[in-house]
Amino acid sequence: MLMFENLTNTCIEVAAGVSVQPNMVTVPVRQALRPSVTYADGTISPYDQAQNRVQWNLLTNRFLQRTAHKLSRRILLIVPKKLVGQQWQTLNQPTNDTFAKSCVQELLSAFLRYGRGPDEPTLKAGDFTIDTQTLGILDDGNYENDFDQMFATAIAKKPSTQLAIFFSPTKNGLSDAFGDFKRVAETRYGLHTVCIAAQAAHNARHYVNKNQQARNLLPQVMGNISMKLNLKLGNINHGFDIMPTLREKLFLQTDDPENMERVDTMILGGDVTHPLQGSADPSISAIVGSVDEHFAKYLGSVRYQKGGTEVSQSH
């Protein structure tokens, strides 16, 4: 049994047999076999019993779908810097314009390597224009006006910018700037956004294994980020290789074997994140539900709730 609690004002449409109680929706579920992951051209990445996982990294595979939307040929790259005297200086060694641009080039190369649209057979990373802008990091921590001006200018250019990339010094660095970046770009200008952590990218570029062998893992890291970009464009990275018997259970109404009808199937996922112990901040709960037959596209709902309170319980 899977229960979602405290989902007040949330509407969930599920199959027959759902029990609804005050502030609680109880959904009967069945445990399904772990499916393999499928890519374009029927390539299958099987479930690894020993590792207890499916290999989702594309490696030499291709996106399942790269036809829904193309990426504009102009990219906006934002690099944060601090003002020292009369000059802008990088926040840490990897956060510089040259390395930032090379990371974006690697991201575009991976995006194209894993699949091109039908009218993009010869498109290369070098065909994109990367406009680099400096974000001045100041003490007041308010960057909304800076981003507003950057995005308005970028959209007015020809071709218009569709993707804005924030080159953060570290994975969790500059939370105020990153929050303003996401909010202004996505809610005010409708831009797709990607964040690249400069330090993590630098570490990947100069990775040394336990045998002191140097390896450049930057293509793999940018390849992973390209999967996020593909999803943001409305495309599909991979699907499930579902056994016919399981597909029948998921997608076909089997009450009447002589007259089977297709039914909608939704995969639900719920989680909650808690504040640090002793904090008065609320917890944040979320639930997502799939809206396509590949289980690749999801709609979600997010709620605040009392700190330390779980939203989902598995029994």
Pairing of strands 74-84, 163-168: parallel
Same domain, 12 and 147: no
139 falls within a domain = yes
In whole angstroms, give the CA distance from residue 302 to residue 287: 7
169 falls within a domain = yes
Q: Look at 245 and 276; give whichever has higher pLDDT.
A: 276
Contact of 123 with 116, CB cutoff 8 Å: yes
Q: What is the pLDDT at residue 17? A: 47
pTM, rounded to two decimals: 0.78
- Of 210, 232, 254, the position where a domain reaches its end is 232
Same domain, 96 and 171: yes
Q: What is the pLDDT at residue 22? A: 59
277 falls within a domain = yes
Same domain, 22 and 64: no
Same domain, 13 and 93: no
Average pLDDT over residues 183-190: 96
Same domain, 211 and 273: no
Same domain, 127 and 163: yes
Chain mean pLDDT for the chain: 82
Lowest-pLDDT choice from 28-42, 149-163, 251-265: 251-265
How confident is residue 20, by pLDDT bands cut at 50, 70 and 90?
low
73 falls within a domain = yes
- Of 232, 249, 274, the position where a domain reaches its end is 232
38 falls within a domain = no
Residue keyed to tokens 């062998």: 213
Q: What is the pLDDT at residue 256? A: 64
Residue keyed to tokens 């639930």: 287
Contact of 47 with 214, CB cutoff 8 Å: no
Q: Which two tokens stand for residue 113?
A: 């390597």
Same domain, 83 and 179: yes
Q: What is the pLDDT at residue 3? A: 40
Q: What is the pLDDT at residue 117? A: 83
Indicate whether 79 pLDDT > 90: yes
Q: Look at 310 and 6; give whichever has higher pLDDT.
A: 310
Exposure on the CB side of residue 283, measured as CA atoms within 13 A: 16
How confident is residue 88, by pLDDT bands cut at 50, 70 and 90?
confident
Same domain, 201 and 282: no
Encode pLDDT of 121-169 as tens digits.
899 999 999 999 999 988 777 899 999 999 999 999 999 999 999 999 9
- Of 209, 232, 255, the position where a domain reaches its end is 232
Percent of the chain with pLDDT over 90: 39
Q: What is the pLDDT at residue 276? A: 82
For the sheet containing 298-305, what is the strand order? 268-273, 283-290, 298-305
- Virtual torsion, Cα 166, 170, 174, 177, nearest 10 deg: 10
274 falls within a domain = yes
128 falls within a domain = yes
Encode pLDDT of 196-243 as tens digits.
999 999 999 999 988 899 999 999 999 999 999 998 998 999 887 766
279 falls within a domain = yes
Same domain, 224 and 84: yes
Same domain, 74 and 140: yes
Residue 103 φ/ψ, nearest 5 degrees: -65, -40
Indicate whether 21 pLDDT > 70: no
**Domain count for the chain:** 2
Which CATH number fits the domain that encloses residue 196?
3.40.50.2300
Look up the domain containing 26 and give its range.
Answer: 2-31+265-314
Q: Look at 184 and 170; give whichever has higher pLDDT.
A: 184
Average pLDDT over residues 168-185: 90
Same domain, 226 and 119: yes
Buried b (16+ CB within 10 A) or exposed e, 229-266: bbbbbebbbbbbbbeeeeeeebeeeeeeeeeeeeeeeb
